[in-house]
Amino acid sequence: MNDKKNEITGAALYTPEQKLRRDQTVWTLVQGVLAPLQFLVFAISAVFVVNFLLNGTGLFAATVSVVIKTGILYTIMVTGAIWEKVVFGRYLFAPAFFWEDVVSMGVIALHSLYLIMLLAGWGTPQEQMWVALAAYAAYVVNAVQFLKKFQQARASSTSTPFSADEMSVGARV
């Protein structure tokens, strides 16, 4: 009954049972480690991508960095889906994280389009890097969504303080 009330009203981010599962699963820690790693790789890669687009130099570094960022994204998405299954009982689109998951699908699609373009040799390197930059813009939107969700969870939490791994950019709170 509590789960249904949460789904319908959206009154609380977690039911007490979901919060307990969130706090007990190793997948919360995994998300907490991967999220700041992904953000760090994103920040470094964004510098390489923008440098290439502005100066026409550093294509190899930019390419490698986008491939690494994409690999970390795939990893955090798979482990995040497992986390969501443990906490909410479904792999994706749990009501509490529905819109974050929708935007995440767009982020994955753009990163995947970049990889397809790279591997198939479609487009110029500049066009490929513009796709990567679009993927990064979508990632920033998604990271902001998760930060807002963290603030919501923190504001509604009165009994248990959040651990450091829950304060990570893009981590599921």
Residue 168 banded pLDDT, cuts 50, 70, 90:
very low
In the chain, pLDDT over 70 holds for what percent of residues? 84
3: nearest Cα among 82, 96, 102: 96
Q: 3-state SS string over 98-146? A: HHHHHHHHHHHHHHHHHHHHHHHCCCCHHHHHHHHHHHHHHHHHHHHHH
- Whether pTM > 0.85 for this model: the answer is no
- Taking only the tens place, the pLDDT of each residue in 37-70 is 999 999 999 999 999 999 999 999 999 999 999 9
